[in-house]
Amino acid sequence: MTSKSKEIRVTPEGSLEVLSQLEVLALRDSSTSGLQELFRSCALAVLNSGSLTDDAVQVFEQYKDFAIELVQQDRGIKLEVRNAPATAFVDGRMIRGIQEHLFAVLRDIIYTRNEIYDSGTFNLEEPEHITSAVFHILRNARMLIPNREPRMVVCWGGHAIGREEYDYTKKVGYELGLRGLDVCTGCGPGAMKGPMKGATIGHSKQRIKDGRYLGISEPGIIAAESPNPIVNGLVIMPDIEKRLEAFVRVAHGIIVFPGGAGTAEEILYLLGILLNPANREMPFPVVLTGPEKSADYFRQIDGFIKATLGEEAGDLYQIIVGDPPAVAKRMRRGMQKVRKYRIAGKDAFYFNWLLRIEKEFQMPFEPTHENMRSLALNRDQPPHILAANLRRAFSGIVAGNVKEPGIRSIEKHGPFEINGDAEIMSRLDDLLGAFVADNRMKLHGQDYTPCYRLVL
């Protein structure tokens, strides 16, 4: 039987302590804005940290009696929480890190609705406005720190990885921490938690007291990848595209560990941007790495990239297997070049304004059955645009695997159909088949039924 908390009230931890009457009304209104249910689902995900499932539908069914309400008081606000996962509490008190994450969710949901979508300030059909919206959300969450030397390493990788790969991510994080580098991940378990865990030890040994462990999530994925407790800076972006843009704007370098469809989506997003001729001269260190046992995984990824996007795409990253110190040294060297480039271009260290991101990578992609069938997966387009469409294909697979709307859509209409050029489909079939065989689509121990069908 699931262990749940009784009714508990919690006060703000973090940056949000007061709300206007209109904000309170919007959060209490279940009929119009949708804000109440959005906050409830994200709050449940935060409170469910450490869960052993990545099925959002299962999480919501398990805690269907979970409730969270805003209590407005003269001295500020409180949250009244009922039937929450008991693991979020110790001796009847909410764990402080989870409490901080809970109010970070409230902060970002309210700010995004009021200041990004409803203010009229941003035209979210225009690339420059989308980038500015990403900047404003990050700034409001206090993620952007001026006058700080380049040291932020974004780490991507799967939540469903084995023990050896997880331990390797910790070793890499440790080497990063020893060199004074910070870590940003998708904030969940697996390869998102390991680098942070390792970096905390490296920072401790170097007596670094201001180490940053940033987590960037979005409402669609957070229930499947609840924030891990090491994250000391959490931000919820409104959709996957803005989440991905936030990653590459704050990153001074990116490390990719083994993963599944979500990791492939991230790789294709990054390579698509770096393949843009406008970004060719920009230094951006990228390393794909894992233990020796992951060598075949990276051969598959490397082969798929070069076969679909061309040999030039393979020049944008380095593969390092079984050598955590070498990975950290590569990042450190790369950041010296990033620093010089930013100074020469008069660009900020904390946000990469110079990076050109096309509209194809910014506009939200809704993974409906029709949209998945309509994806242009052919060679009659520039490589960076093909990368954008391949990214959307993997985004749809992620939705069908772990996101509540995607799972329910698959249950109702059957698998997504994906079609395109014969060679691209053949390569995609091989890569996805390898992910399934290696248990990279779901957490280990969970049966996997493909949510897609390739039209070969």
Half-sphere exposure of 390 (CA within 13 A, CB side): 34
pLDDT at residue 1, rounded to an integer: 44
Domain endpoint, select from 121, 154, 185: 121
The radius of gyration computed from the CA coordinates of the chain, to the nearest angstrom, equals: 21
Q: How far apart are CA 285 and CA 154, in angstroms?
A: 11
Whole-angstrom CA distances from 295 to 56, 255, 402, 410 are: 31, 15, 27, 33
pTM for this prediction: 0.91
Q: Looking at the structure, do residues 305 and 165 belong to the same domain, yes or no?
A: yes
Please count the structural domains in the chain: 2
Residues 69 and 163 in one domain: no
Q: Would residue 126 count as lying in a domain?
A: no
Q: Domain check: are 89 and 150 in the same one?
A: no
| 238 and 157 within one domain | yes
CATH at residue 117: 3.30.1850.10
* Spatial distance between the Cα atoms of 34 and 393, rounded to a whole number of angstroms: 28
The confidence score (pLDDT) of residue 51 equals 61
Residue 419: give its domain's CATH number.
3.40.50.450
Six token digits for residue 244:
């991905």
Do 277 and 372 fall within a single domain? yes
| Same domain, residue pair 321 and 398 | yes
Name the 3-class secondary structure at 223: coil
Q: SS3 of 423, please?
A: helix
Does residue 365 sit within a domain? yes
Residue 167 sits in the same domain as residue 302? yes
Domain end marker among 121, 156, 186: 121
User: Domain check: are 113 and 182 in the same one?
Assistant: no
Q: How far is CA 358 from the centre of its chain?
A: 20
Contact 19, 114 (CB under 8 A): no
Which residues in the chain land under pLDDT 70?
1-6, 12-33, 50-57, 72-76, 442-446
pLDDT digits over 124-167, tens only?
A: 999 999 999 999 999 999 999 998 999 999 999 998 788 999 99
Residue 131 within any structural domain of the chain: no
Q: Could you tell me which residues come within 8 angstroms of residue 70 by beta carbon, excluding any fewer than 6 positions away?
A: 19, 24, 27, 28, 77, 78, 79, 80
**Are residues 116 and 179 both part of a single domain?**
no
Is residue 178 included in any domain, yes or no?
A: yes
Q: Cα–Cα distance between 7 and 34 in angstroms, integer?
A: 24
150 and 107 share one domain: no
Query: Which of 75, 106, 121 is at the close of a domain?
Result: 121
Provide the residue range defining the domain that includes 404.
146-456
- 127: in domain: no
Say if 194 falls within a structural domain. yes
**Would residue 140 count as lying in a domain?**
no
Cα separation, 279 vs 351, in Å, equals 15
pLDDT at residue number 44: 87
Residues 85 and 202 in one domain: no
Does any domain span residue 128?
no
Please give the Cα distance from 365 to 263 (Å, whole number): 17
Whether 37 and 167 share a structural domain:
no
